Amino acid sequence: MSRKTAMRMIAFMTVIMVLWVAIPTTFAAGETFKVISVNTLGCASGNFSMTVERANLDGGTYTVHTVVTVEGLIYMNENASISINGLSGWSIFDNFTYGPVPNPGTYPIPSGKEMRLDFSLERPVGTVLYEWTLIVDGCDTGNILYNGPTPTGNACNLAVPSSAVVGEAPLGAQVYYAPGEIAPGIVLNPGTYVVIGQDDSETYYQIVLACQKVWVRKDTMQPSYQAPQNGAPLPSGIVG
In a domain, 233, yes or no: no
Please identify, among 149, 181, 199, the residue that sits at the C-terminal boundary of a domain: 149
Read off the amino acid at residue 131. Answer: E
In a domain, 235, yes or no: no
Please give the pLDDT value at position 60.
Answer: 93
CATH number for position 205? 2.30.30
In a domain, 228, yes or no: no
CATH number for position 111? 2.60.40
Please give the pLDDT value at position 184.
Answer: 84
| Residues 131/150, Cβ–Cβ less than 8 Å | yes
Please give the pLDDT value at position 170.
Answer: 92
Same domain for 79 and 42: yes
Please identify, among 114, 149, 184, the residue that sits at the C-terminal boundary of a domain: 149
Per DSSP, the residues of the chain read --HHHHHHHHHHHHHHHHHHHHS-SS--SS-EEEEEEEEE--SSTTT-EEEEEEES--SS-EEEEEEEEETTEEEEEEEEEE---EEEEEE--S--TT---SSB--SSPPTTS-EEEEEEEESSTT-EEEEEEEEES-TTT--EEEEEEPPPSSPP-----TT-EEEEETT-EEEEEETTEEEEEEEEPSEEEEEEEE-TTSSEEEEEETTEEEEEEGGG-EE--STTTTTPPPP--B--
Same domain for 37 and 123: yes
Whole-Å CA distances, 148 to 36, 99, 135, 163, 168: 10, 25, 9, 22, 15
Same domain for 41 and 17: no
In a domain, 103, yes or no: yes
In a domain, 180, yes or no: yes
In a domain, 83, yes or no: yes
Same domain for 91 and 191: no
pLDDT digits (tens, 9 = 90+) for 20-78: 444 443 334 599 999 999 999 999 999 999 999 999 999 999 999 999 999 888 999 99
| Neighbouring C-beta atoms of residue 24, cutoff 10 Å | 11
Please give the pLDDT value at position 207.
Answer: 92
* Conformation bin of residue 31: beta by default, left when phi > 0, alpha when psi is -120 to 50: beta
Count how many domains the chain has: 2
Please give the pLDDT value at position 38.
Answer: 93
Same domain for 44 and 119: yes
Same domain for 110 and 42: yes
Please give the pLDDT value at position 1.
Answer: 56
Please give the pLDDT value at position 3.
Answer: 54
Same domain for 42 and 124: yes
In a domain, 170, yes or no: yes
Per the confidence metrics, is the pTM higher than 0.75? no
Please enumerate in sequence order all residues whose Cβ is within 8 A of that of 216, keeping only pairs 6 or more positions apart, or say none: 169, 173, 174, 175, 176, 188, 204, 205, 207
Structural domain containing residue 102: 32-149
In a domain, 234, yes or no: no
Maximum separation of any 2 CA atoms in the chain, in Å: 60
Residues of the chain with pLDDT under 70: 1-29, 153-158, 210-211, 227
Please identify, among 121, 149, 177, the residue that sits at the C-terminal boundary of a domain: 149
